[in-house]
Structure 1
Amino acid sequence: MSTREAARRKPASRKPMDILLRLLVAAALVVDAVVHFDLASGYQLGAPGGIGEGNLFRLEGAVAILVALYVLVRGSRPAYAAAVVVAGSAFIAVLLYRYVDIPAIGPLPSMYEPVWFFEKTLSAVAEGLGAVLAAVGYVRQRSSARRSS
């Protein structure tokens, strides 16, 4: 068996580039989670008894951690798809609430904040990069599945 054949038979999730991609996607999701957990208590003050931004931030952080673990452990198309959804939705939300004043919708608070600061910028960059890298991982898994069949 040649080296080329061995590389082709090697699972995509074991190739060095795929391992690096999994680590980068997971790192982006962890940065997203850490920033959201760090900022949550300050944002919850606006609605101490309600849903509030703080609780939404905690939820985002928890989901980001779970998906980061899923990507690290599996590195599969569903894992990358989940990472695209989590990182992409967070990226869209931070941009939307930065530039558009959306009023409160039912129990969800208005989260308009027309400023950039370090943590918000760090989170947005991590979310945007994480979404793009997860999309690349999804496509790579899809193309490697096609090649092996």
Structure 2
Amino acid sequence: MIALRVLTAAGLILSAVIHFQLAPGFQQAYPGGIGGGNLFRIQAVIAVLAALYVLIRGDRPSYAVAAAVALSALAAVVLYRYVQVPAIGPIPSMYEPVWYAKKTLTAMAEAVAGFLAIIGYALLRRNRHHE
């Protein structure tokens, strides 16, 4: 199960690194508000914390958190790729109707991390029932 923990965490860390890299460019359009860059930074910090949690604990709650973080980030990137969501309060409209290398890589990392976290969660449940 250690490999599953490491791979789940690696997907989350890859997502975080890319979000940190992209953040400055997304903040420029909203220098005074929350801005996309700050949202990217917040997501990256949460992904790092979820990665550490699953690495350290490797229990069902940690896998649930990892799945929630990874899949919510994936949902956001796909939503803002295909739907022009208007600004909601301090959250800017982040519609970006293109795929490029870093965006695609982070989406794939989030999908893999989310999928692996679900598997980890399910395996721990199954193992618990067979003890």
> Shared topology, TM-score over 0.5?
yes
- 1:41 is aligned to 24
1:49: how far off?
1.3
Opposite residue 142 of structure 1, the aligned amino acid is R
1:144: how far off?
1.1
Identity between Structure 1 and Structure 2 (%): 56
CA RMSD of aligned residues (A): 0.6
Larger gyration radius, structure 1 or structure 2: 1
Matched, 1:61 2:20: no
- 2:93 is aligned to 110
- 1:9 is aligned to none
> What TM-score results when the alignment is normalised by the length of structure 2?
0.98
- 2:128 is aligned to 145
Structure 1 unaligned spans of 5+: 1-17
CA distance in 2, matches of 1:111, 1:145: 42
- 1:7 is aligned to none
- For residues 60-102 of structure 1, the C-alpha deviation after alignment (integer angstroms, 9 at most, x for no partner) is 0000000100000100000000001000000011000000111
Opposite residue 36 of structure 1, the aligned amino acid is H
Q: Once superposed, which parts of structure 1, at least 4 consecutive aligned residues long, lie more than 3 Å away?
A: none
SS of structure 1 residue aligned to 2:130: helix
- For residues 106-146 of structure 1, the C-alpha deviation after alignment (integer angstroms, 9 at most, x for no partner) is 11100000001110000000001110110000001111112
Q: For 1:94, which of 77, 88, 94 is the aligned residue?
A: 77
- 2:111 is aligned to 128
User: Size of the alignment, in residue pairs?
Assistant: 131
> What TM-score results when the alignment is normalised by the length of structure 1?
0.87
CA distance in 2, matches of 1:52, 1:144: 44
CA distance in 2, matches of 1:141, 1:147: 10
- 2:7 is aligned to 24
